[in-house]
Amino acid sequence: MVDKIRLPIYESLASSKKRMNGSFHALPIQNVGNIKNVILEEGFLSAFEKIKHLELSITGPFFDSLSDPSRVIDESSNIISDIYGSDLSLFVTCGSTIANNIVIEALCKSDDKVICQKGVHQSIHFTLKSSNIDVNFVEDILCNNESSIYRGNAEKILDELKNSEELNNPYKTLIINSQSYDGVCFDLSRFLDQVCQIATRLENIIIDEAWGAWSAFDPYMKEKSGIYNSKRLSQKYDKNFIVVHSIHKSLFSFRQASLINVYGSDHCLDKMISSHYRNHTTSPSYPILASTELAVVHAKNYGHQYTERTLFLIDKLKNFVVKNLNHFKVEELEVNSEFFVNDPTKIWITCSSPLLNGEKIREYLFNNQGVYISRYNEKSFLLNFHCGVTDELVDYLSLGLECLEKKIKANTNKMNIREGDVSSSFFILYPPGTPVLTPGQTVCKFDLDKINSSLINNISLLVVEGN
Ligand SMILES: Cc1ncc(COP(=O)(O)O)c(C=O)c1O
């Protein structure tokens, strides 16, 4: 008998693909082809379907070289830089981790004065540390206790910049994360105006906008985005702005597609090009390159249609929750600062029933509806309505929440007991069929927790009258 070959990664991914109806996390390209009501020009869809086959071993002069582009890669980065209005756009095919690495290595030296929002990605912390840079990290502020959502402390950053200018010891570089995964975005039109006016000697502003590649194409968010404001302010204030985008997180590209958009002096562009050369892999992925180009051109042409669709789907979900669910509610985030806005594509849903927590809801939705959610906490979970979220995915989610609501109702009725009550019945969890409570037993917290935590996991609770 031939042994079955074990391919654990392949098998796990293939079986997940079969079970998954979609993701409220990232990677819209998983759902390319399933999006209705966005009218695509002929050719886009077939191009999306073909790019994964472009893993070729070919370089200049037949194709081109990423490290010294002179033909099609050069032409494509010029097209992209025209779309973003940048002075330079650099492809990165090894994620925004490396993009951040490239940017910081290019611009920050060990004796530079750097101010950085503390809530930035680990790649920024690691690169600053390994470059031995003495950084003033400004702690984020909690803006929602229940869901542990933080935002940058814009007010403190502005104070620090002002003081350092007044003390004649100005900062050279500012680093921020402009759009958090949790759904809080800097309003960069307000914040950067203030930064530029206050910090006249600040030279570089690095904006990690990894989650916000979509916002440059969104009619509502565009004017708050890194792209729009870097273009608007760079020449006016003679500063270098760098915006890092993870393309795959919000547009239709393969994972690890990242772009560095630079607005600044020729000297800054040269430093960025040489750091890109030093830090990028020498084997760039061609499917990722092709998918970046396609995703950006596609977003430029269809961004506004996706915005309308997203707002429609969010409205549909919100109406469903309000009309049909008593134990779930859409949470409204308070950012409490003129420098921040809520991300209109991110929705937090909170569950008020003690029978459920974020982790159980997540498990239930994946196992029963093929709906993937990444971020959750004790009472709530986050939905990221990226452009790959389909009508059907919202329906699967709604159905899953409705089923959970029914389970809560059924079990709350059964669970008409409190800590300290004397049970008049057997409470038996099946499987395994062992009573948690017997008649005459005083109910303690341990019993209640045990019953609560089992109820939702498809374990039935049998309540048998005792005598
Ligand atoms: C703000 C931010 N920057 C950078 C990154 C790194 O991106 P990648 O995982 O593509 O390397 C992430 C990843 O989640 C991120 O959230």
The angle subtended at Cα 230 by Cα 382 and Cα 78, nearest 5°, is 100
User: Are the C-beta atoms of 386 and 218 separated by less than 8 Å?
Assistant: no
In tens, the pLDDT along 325-346 reads 999 999 988 898 999 999 999 9
Per-residue model confidence (pLDDT) at position 85: 98
117 shares a domain with 177:
yes
The vertex-426 CA angle with 425 and 430, nearest 5°, equals 145
Q: Which structural domain range is residue 280 located in?
A: 44-298
The pLDDT, as a whole number, for residue 19 is 93
Which residues, other chains included, contact 155 with Cβ-Cβ below 8 Å and sequence gap of 6+? Answer: 337, 339
Confidence label for 313 from pLDDT (cuts 50, 70 and 90): very high
* 6 in a structural domain: no
| Cα–Cα distance, 55 to 68 (Å, whole number) | 19
Number of domains present in the structure of the chain: 3
Of 298, 331, 346, the domain-final residue: 298
Tell whether 356 and 441 lie within a shared domain.
Answer: no
**What average pLDDT does range 90-107 have in this prediction?**
98
* Whether residue 319 sits in one domain with residue 233: no
Specify the CATH number for the domain of residue 139. 3.40.640.10
Q: What is the pLDDT of residue 415?
A: 66
Which of 97, 102, 116, 209 for a ligand 1 pocket mutation test, highest count of atoms within 8 Å of Cβ?
97
Span from the CA of 387 to the centroid of ligand 1 (angstroms): 18
- Cα separation of 286 and 41, whole Å? 23
Q: Tell me: the pLDDT tens digits for 149-175? A: 999 999 999 999 999 999 999 999 999
State the Cα–Cα distance between residues 113 and 331, nearest whole angstrom: 39
Asked if residue 37 has pLDDT above 70, the reply is: yes
Q: Taking the mean position of all CA atoms in its chain, how far away is CA 174?
A: 22
The pLDDT assigned to 417 comes to: 75
What is the model's pLDDT at position 237? 98
Whether the Cβ atoms of residue 257 and residue 247 lie closer than 8 Å to each other: yes
Tokens of 75: 């032409």
Torsion angle, CA of 121/123/129/131, rounded to 10 degrees?
A: -140
Q: How far apart are CA 18 and CA 14, in angstroms?
A: 6
Please list, in sequence order, all residues whose beta carbon lies within 8 angstroms of the beta carbon of residue 390, skipping any fewer than 6 positions away: 22, 31, 34, 35, 36
358 plus 280 within the same structural domain:
no
Q: Is 284 helix (H, G, I), strand (E, B) or coil?
A: coil
Mean pLDDT of the 115-144 span: 96
pLDDT grade, residue 414 (50/70/90)?
A: low
For residue 39, what are the contacts with CB-CB under 8 A and spacing of at least 6?
A: 305
Closest-CA residue, ligand 1 atom 4, reads 96
Buried b (16+ CB within 10 A) or exposed e, 56-89: eeeeeeeebebeebeeebeebbeebbebbbbbbb
Pairing of strands 346-351, 380-384: antiparallel
Written as one letter, the residue type at 187 is D
Distance from Cα 5 to the centre of ligand 1, integer Å: 35
CA gap 84, 262 in Å, rounded: 10
Q: Measured in angstroms, how far is the CA atom of residue 294 from the centroid of ligand 1? A: 21
- For the cut 90, the answer to whether the pLDDT of residue 137 exceeds it is yes
Quick: pLDDT tens for 368-378. Answer: 999 999 999 98
- Domain end marker among 298, 332, 351: 298
- Are 428 and 386 within one domain? no
Position 7 in a domain: no
Q: Are residues 251 and 391 in the same domain?
A: no
Q: Which residues touch 167 (CB under 8 Å, ≥6 apart)?
A: none
Arithmetic mean of pLDDT, 373-391:
94
Nearest C-alpha neighbor of 250 from the set 307, 205, 187: 307
CB 132 within 8 A of CB 165: no
Would you say residue 10 lies in a domain?
no
What is the chain's mean pLDDT, rounded? 92
Asked whether residue 13 is domain-assigned, the answer is no
Using CB distances shorter than 6 Å, the residues near ligand 1 are 95-97, 100, 121, 123, 177, 181, 208, 210-211, 246, 256, 258
Residue 408: the pLDDT is: 86
How much distance in Å is there from the Cα of 26 to the middle of ligand 1? Answer: 11
Nearest to 284 by CA among 4, 55, 455: 55
Smallest CA-to-CA distance from 237 within 291, 295, 174 is with: 174
What are the b/e assignments for 9-24, b being 16+ CB within 10 Å? eeeeeeeeeeebbbbb
Task: Report the pLDDT value the prediction gives residue 33, as an integer from 0 to 100.
Answer: 78
| Residues 433-438, mean pLDDT to the nearest whole number | 88
Q: Which residue has the higher pLDDT, 17 or 415?
A: 17
User: Most confidently modeled of 33-47, 257-271, 351-365?
Assistant: 257-271
Residues in Cβ contact with 2 at an 8 Å cutoff, skipping those fewer than 6 apart: none
What CATH number is attached to the domain comprising 308?
Answer: 3.90.1150.10
Give backbone dihedrals phi and psi of 221, rounded to 5 degrees, phi first.
-90, -15
CA distance 403 to 383: 18
pLDDT digits (tens, 9 = 90+) for 177-220: 999 999 999 999 999 999 999 999 999 999 999 999 999 999 99
The helix/strand count (H/E) of the chain reads as: 14, 19
Q: Relative to the CA of 209, which ligand 1 atom is closest?
A: 1
> Where is the domain boundary, 280, 298, 316?
298
Ligand 1 centroid–CA 96 distance in Å is 5
The separation between the first and the last C-alpha atoms of the chain, rounded to the nearest angstrom, is 60
